[in-house]
Amino acid sequence: MFVLVLNQSNLIPDGQNNKLLYKFPNSVNLTNKYIAVSSITMYYSWFNISAAIGNNVFTYTWTAAATTYTYSIVIPDGIYEVSDINAIAQFAMIANGTYWSNGTFNFYPFDLVLNPTRYAVQLNTYYIPTTAPTGTTTPPNPINPATGLPVGGSPWPTVARNPVVTFPANFSSLVGYTAGFASNANINNVFVPSTPTQATNYATKSSTNTISYLSNAAPQLQPNNSVYLSLSNINNPYSQPSSIIYSLTPNVAAGSVIQDRPPNFMWNKLIDGTYNQLLLSFLGTNLQPLSIADPSMTILLTIRDKDEAWLGTK
């Protein structure tokens, strides 16, 4: 039995930190050899929201006077919880001038919160009146997203309404909504929700015209909650792709060290032949290369001969 050690020095320097190349000192004959992952130590550092995944944008509206403006909230690449997404949205609403304040607290036209009881993400949209509510101040003039300049005139809508929040494809699956979901504008308080059902995102409306929605599918906040290890020189006819040798599931908080040691080796037969290198790749759940932020990692691979069947698979 032989052990191969792969670490940061084996990474292919393409900035993705997802491919490790192990070069043997000399060409080796791998006929009748089996290989298994014996341990993995690395940081949980692959982003759940990024431009590369295409799930980093959603939109909302604000009406100033009689003109409705649509704002895009662009989330920087990173690892986020629902509360973090909401904080990014509030930061964007302040920058866009689409909020109001009582001098102590800011009021925003919508928020996203976790609803653990329903295993859902809840969207609340709030009624935006035509004048500043008692005890609050008029927000700064909203920014026209087309020009980057204040819109001028009244920052409040001519007709009271709720903002329209839209979740495009990819972002929608993060929060458990149907692609293209758009909340109701409730113009002049005319929206009357039907009996809450899954098809209507369980929409309800309060006495203050706050409209609440629940995700109608399980939120997939981490699209890559499992990571596949793919190794060259493997041909498993029962797997797709045929090079998968292991699956890693992080069981720690984002940014923490993952230490994975399988209780039993899962042996995979190497393709018979003579080789001078092995290539190990990390793939996401979509079987595409996974971008990993932290290059610090150590992976141990164990190779055994066919006649060492007492170690596992014959």
- The predicted-structure confidence for 190-222, as pLDDT tens digits, reads as follows 999 999 999 999 999 999 999 999 999 999 999
What is the share, in percent, of the chain residues with pLDDT greater than 70? 97
**Residues 258-270: tens digit of each pLDDT:** 999 998 999 999 9
Q: Provide the pLDDT for residue 77.
A: 95
Ordered structural domains, the chain, with CATH? 2-46+224-311 (2.60.120.1100), 57-214 (no CATH)
Nearest residue to 89 via CA among 71, 102, 104? 71
The SS3 call for residue 270 is strand
Q: Provide the pLDDT for residue 314.
A: 45
Q: Provide the pLDDT for residue 309.
A: 61
**Residues 102-151: tens digit of each pLDDT:** 888 999 999 999 999 999 999 999 999 999 888 887 667 899 999 999 99
Q: Virtual CA dihedral for 149, 134, 166, 144, nearest 10 degrees?
A: -10
The SS3 call for residue 174 is helix
The SS3 call for residue 222 is coil
User: DSSP strand E in the chain: where?
Assistant: 2-7, 19-29, 33-43, 57-64, 67-74, 100-101, 106-107, 110-115, 120-125, 165-167, 181-182, 204-205, 211-214, 227-231, 244-248, 257-260, 268-269, 274-283, 297-305
**Residues 83-92: tens digit of each pLDDT:** 999 999 999 9
What is the value of pTM for the model shown?
A: 0.87
Average pLDDT for 156-182: 97
* CA quadruple 12, 17, 19, 20: dihedral sign: positive
**Residues 229-241: tens digit of each pLDDT:** 999 999 888 888 8
Confidence band (pLDDT; 50, 70, 90) for 310? low
Q: Are strands 100-101 and 57-64 parallel, antiparallel or unpaired?
A: unpaired
Q: Are 274 and 29 in contact (CB under 8 A)?
A: yes
| 201 phi-psi bin (left φ>0, alpha ψ -120 to 50, beta other) | left
More confident residue, 139 or 257: 257
Q: How many angstroms separate the first and last alpha carbons of the chain?
A: 14
